[in-house]
């Protein structure tokens, strides 16, 4: 009986151990499952966070791309505007330059200065120290300057030099033909015969005119005042009755170079 009791106690203790062992395994399994679940939750959370971060990054990238595109568009518009402004400025500058040049040309023409023309006779090549206009045959000699003037088509009152011969220095000038509708202007310095009791045909006015005429060339254009281009008889002077070689003689004719 005593042995049976001991045996029963031993069985009871063994069962208890089995139960405890089973409970321990369930506890560990539950703990492991809990740990695994927690780990899965953390991984899910991390994945969610990563996805959120990626989405945020993508959104930032999209915004940056949009801003870059907008900036590029603005830059292009600014470049176009700058180009248009530069083109407009260039056009205005060109127009201003053209206007200034035109104004300067007009001003030069307007500001052309009239100079004294030495004119003392018409169609007479025998007088020394004189300025003569010919509408007939040029009869001036070799020691003269001969200048043929022809009218310029479409420019009323403007005459152009068609031919020049100059014998002031060597006495070898030749007479020139009178152009149709034009005239020949000739002059010479004259001589001073006062030492031998004769006349002095030299004058400052004539010498100045000779100096000017020697700078003229074929193609130069002029306008004139004081020349009687209709009758070729009226001498332009304010000192009528005074000889042309007298120091007090005044000629009122003028010429202006216009081209």
Q: Is the pLDDT of residue 210 over 60?
A: yes
Q: How far is it, in rounded angstroms, from Cα 58 to Cα 240?
A: 108
Q: What is the pLDDT of residues 133-173, one digit of tens each?
A: 999 999 999 999 999 999 999 999 999 999 999 999 999 99
Query: What Rg do the C-alpha atoms of the chain give, in angstroms?
Result: 59
Tokens of 140: 């001036």
**146 φ, ψ (degrees, to nearest 5):** -115, 125
Tokens of 113: 């200065």
The residue ranking higher by pLDDT, 132 or 46, is: 132
Q: Is the pLDDT of residue 95 over 70?
A: no
Mean pLDDT over each residue of the chain, to the nearest integer:
73
* Of residues 215, 214, 193, 211, the one with CA closest to residue 202: 193
Q: How confident is the model at residue 12 (pLDDT cuts 50, 70, 90)?
A: low
Average pLDDT for 203-215: 97
Q: How far is it, in rounded angstroms, from Cα 86 to Cα 81?
A: 8
pLDDT of residue 219: 98
Check: CB of residue 222 under 8 Å from CB of residue 149.
Answer: yes
Check: CB of residue 148 under 8 Å from CB of residue 178.
Answer: yes
Average pLDDT for 183-204: 96
Task: Kindly give, in sequence order, each residue whose CB lies less than 8 Å from that of residue 255, ignoring residues fewer than 6 positions away.
Answer: 114, 115, 117, 222, 223, 224, 225
Residue 164's DSSP bridge partners are 147
* Of residues 141, 202, 147, 139, the one with CA closest to residue 172: 141
Distances (CA, A) of 125 to 36, 77, 100, 153, 184: 138, 80, 48, 29, 12
pLDDT of residue 5: 52
Q: Is the pLDDT of residue 47 over 50?
A: no
Q: Maximum distance among all alpha carbons in the chain?
A: 202
pLDDT of residue 231: 94
Q: Write down the H helix ranges in 177-232.
A: 204-213
Sort strands 145-151 and 183-187 into parallel, antiparallel or unpaired: antiparallel
Average pLDDT for 174-197: 97
The residue ranking higher by pLDDT, 46 or 146, is: 146
Q: How confident is the model at residue 111 (pLDDT cuts 50, 70, 90)?
A: low
Rounded percentage of the chain residues whose pLDDT exceeds 90: 57
Q: Is the pLDDT of residue 71 over 70?
A: no
Q: How far is it, in rounded angstroms, from Cα 168 to Cα 148?
A: 16
pLDDT of residue 112: 83
């Amino acid at each position: 009986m005593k042995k049976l009791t001991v045996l029963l106690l031993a069985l009871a203790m063994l069962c208890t151990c089995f139960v405890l062992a089973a409970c321990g395994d369930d506890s560990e399994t539950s703990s492991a499952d809990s740990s695994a679940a927690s780990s899965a939750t953390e991984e899910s959370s991390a994945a969610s966070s990563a996805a959120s971060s990626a989405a945020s990054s993508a959104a930032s990238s999209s915004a940056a791309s949009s801003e870059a595109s907008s900036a590029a568009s603005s830059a292009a518009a600014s470049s176009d505007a700058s180009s248009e402004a530069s083109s407009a400025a260039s056009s205005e500058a060109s127009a201003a330059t053209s206007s200034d040049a035109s104004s300067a040309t007009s001003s030069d023409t307007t500001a052309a200065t009239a100079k004294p023309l030495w004119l003392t006779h018409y169609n007479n090549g025998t007088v020394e120290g004189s300025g003569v206009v010919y509408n007939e045959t040029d009869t001036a000699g070799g020691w003269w300057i001969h200048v043929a003037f022809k009218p310029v088509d479409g420019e009323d009152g403007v005459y152009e030099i068609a031919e020049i011969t100059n014998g002031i220095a060597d006495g070898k000038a030749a007479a020139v033909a009178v152009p149709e509708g034009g005239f020949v202007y000739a002059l010479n310095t004259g001589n001073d015969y006062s030492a031998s009791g004769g006349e002095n045909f030299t004058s400052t006015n004539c010498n100045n005119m000779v100096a000017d005429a020697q700078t003229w060339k074929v193609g130069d254009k002029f306008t004139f005042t004081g020349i009687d281009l209709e009758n070729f008889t009226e001498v332009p002077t304010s000192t009528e009755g005074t000889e042309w070689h007298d120091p007090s003689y005044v000629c009122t004719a003028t010429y202006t170079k216009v081209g």
